[in-house]
Structure 1
Amino acid sequence: MADLRIGLVGLGMMGRHHARVIRETDGVVLAGVADALGDPHRVAGDLAISASVDDLIAVGIDAAVVAVPTAYHEAVALTLAAAGVHALIEKPISGDVASGTRIVEAFESRGLVGAVGHIERFNPALQSLRARIASGDLGEVYQIATRRQGPFPSRIADVGVVKDLATHDIDLTSWLAQSRFASVSAHTTVRSGREFEDMVSFTALLENNVITNHLVNWLSPMKERVTVVTGERGAFVADTISGDLTFFENGTVNTEWESVAAFRGVSEGTMVRFALTKREPLRVEHEEFRNAILGLDSGVVTLREGLENVRVAEAVLKSAQNATTETIAGA
């Protein structure tokens, strides 16, 4: 069977990584690239750089990766859908629910594969964590907390930290718990003089009654990507920068020191850091996208899941603006 011909729209910071991984993925070939601003990272190689999506489609492609700024996602996606081209769209799917809905409908009505690049789902630590939660290793899940903070990336200019970074945490939390968000309560701030919020703290309740807590910002000098899942048997800590997963087990040995036992509540047990096979998440994401196009079992983040993440993000922003707890539409 001939390799799938993949086009790449956007040759910026993320585009350069997509170009590399497409070239390294079996069963696909990078057939064309497009960016009206040229090729700053020199990833095109011997490929001509198309000035528009229409020019890229004319090259002859089966699918495309959309790595342009969020504000352009809808226009690019709708053009690809009209041409019958499958698409992997970098997160978030779009800047708002209305445009995201139009993207979903365009692909679904034509029977095309559409996916959103929520790459954390393909991190080895989180993939192992989800499997262990699903198999009952933690027992009942009580809480999921995430911390995602670091310096501001200058390439982001059209959305704030909620829709750019926090959508990662919204997606991975719902995916780990296998439950939708029911309500959120949030606070945001702007500390760096930019147009959009650069810090958010929000709590939430999932439909399965798991409570969540999320700290996300572009204001920290150190980079942190941590997910903590606490349940009746202990707590898992996933570091998605290193791909490490650690389990802190609830202790089974009673302490004879009565005052310490009363203070601790749950006692400390065994701590285990798992040895995981660590594959590059972006490579796994591309393999899953390829499999979806071929009609094979696939773990892609669907367009509807990406749309739900934006719906929750909008509720977070509304909560912060109005100082209210917001119920998620449809929940």
Structure 2
Amino acid sequence: MTASLRAAVIGYGAMGRNHARVLAGLGGVDLVAIVRPSGDPGSAPAPVVGSVAEALSYGLDLAVIAAPTSTHLTLGRELADAGVPALIEKPLAGTATEARELAETFDSRGLLGCVGHIERYNPATRALRQRLADGEVGDLFSVASRRIGPFPNRISDVGVVLDLATHDLHLTAWLTGRPFAELSARSSRPGGREHEDLVTIAGRLADGTVTSHLVSWLSPLKERCTVITGTNGAYVADTLTGRLTRHGEGGERTELETDRLEPLAVELEAFRAAVAGEGTDVVTLAEGARVVAAAEAVLEAARTGRSVTV
């Protein structure tokens, strides 16, 4: 019987707790350490240590970085230097330069690194991607998304573009298989915080397809949906419910089949499989770096009021 892979979670905030929960119950994985400098919260599913160096003493086979974005480069380097494959929560880094450095660091060592863009593993988006690949949508007209909700108190080091819009920038490119060519944006921060609270983004993909994205954490209404419109109708992926719906020309509405698997469990199983040499369904560091570069283009466009070539 193959031995379980020894895993650590670095960071034990809201996302880190979820990673630890899933890894603790994931087949083929043994969660052996959680890195939390402030100490054991008393309910962790694995030994809590104060540093990556202490976690490395457990003989890690893989690690998840769920610490603040500003720490990703330093933590990623530490794991790469130790030869430990890593899944780094999105955004990959706070700047495109740091994101590219992380990608190059892991690549130069021939080491697996990937990014936790969890919406890629949602039942609705996976089903939509398959229908697009099968040609069911027909010729593509547009991609539109809405990602709105109340302010998350856990966020302090980035604005809504890096925290939330990176989901939509990644999903749009992944679903369509087409990179962004141009982006324009308008943003605001009526909450008075250092970073933007709301952004509207207009994009153009490499083939000319137009996109639009509303992203905000100023709304009491929580909504997470992506709408792809083509010659055969409009397909709505609701990632809050995992449902995919098709709207036809005659007004008919059809709920399409999706699974009901937890996205984080699917993502972490894909990571485990890739580390074990059993799969490749991960968001690569190169993909993650392109998302950060697109986010930087959005921020520049919002700052200057001009469209930015990606």
Asked if 2 retains the 8 angstrom alpha-carbon contact of 1:90 and 1:116, the reply is yes
What is the distance in 1 between the residues matched to 2:255 and 2:72? 39
Map 1:64-143 onto structure 2 (within 5 A): 64-143=63-142
Aligned equivalent of 2:33? 32
1:12 and 1:39, CA in 2 relative to 1: closer, same or farther beyond 3 A? farther
The CA deviation at 1:269 is 4.1
Larger radius of gyration: 1
In structure 1, distance between residues paired with 2:280 and 2:70: 28
CA distance in 2, matches of 1:101, 1:274: 38
**1:101 Cα deviation after fit:** 1.3
Q: Could you tell me whether the CA contact under 8 Å between 2:32 and 2:47 is conserved in 1?
A: no
Secondary structure class of the residue paired with 1:68: coil
1:306 pairs with 2:288: yes
Cα distance per residue 1:86-116 (max 9 Å; x no partner) = 0000000000011111111111111111010
Partner of 1:58: 57
Q: Which amino acid aligns with 2:83?
A: G
Other structure's SS at 2:252 match = strand
In the TM superposition, structure 1's runs of 4+ consecutive aligned residues that sit over 3 Å from their partners are none
Report the counterpart of residue 159 of structure 1 in structure 2: 158
Instruction: Give the stretch that moved more between structures: 140-149 or 296-305.
Output: 296-305
Q: Does the aligned pair in 2 maintain the 1:11–1:39 contact within 8 Å?
A: no
Cα distance in 2 between the residues matched to 1:295 and 1:136 = 30
CA offsets, 1:117-167, max 9 Å, x none?
A: 000000000000010011011101110000000001111000000001000
- TM-score of the superposed pair, with normalisation by structure 2: 0.98
The answer to whether the 8 Å contact 1:11/1:43 transfers is no
Q: Is the 8 A contact 1:123 1:280 kept in 2?
A: yes
User: Do the aligned partners of 2:150 and 2:220 also contact (CA within 8 Å) in 1?
Assistant: yes
Matches within 5 A, 1:223-262: 223-250=222-249
**Structure 2 match to 1:2:** 3
Report percent identity of matched pairs: 48
Alpha-carbon deviations, 1:195-235, whole Å to 9, x = none? 10010001000112211000000100010001100001110
- The root-mean-square deviation of aligned C-alpha atoms, in Å, is 1.0
Structure 1 contact 16–43 (Cα < 8 Å) conserved? no
Taking the aligned partners of 2:308 and 2:40, their CA distance within structure 1 comes to 43
Distance 1:211 1:320 in 2: 18
Alpha-carbon deviations, 1:30-53, whole Å to 9, x = none? Answer: 01111112344x4424x4321111
Q: Residue 275 of structure 1: CA displacement?
A: 3.1
Give 1:214-225 correspondences, 5 Å limit. Answer: 214-225=213-224
* Alignment coverage as a number of residue pairs: 309
Residue number in structure 2 paired with 1:207: 206
Matched, 1:293 2:275: yes
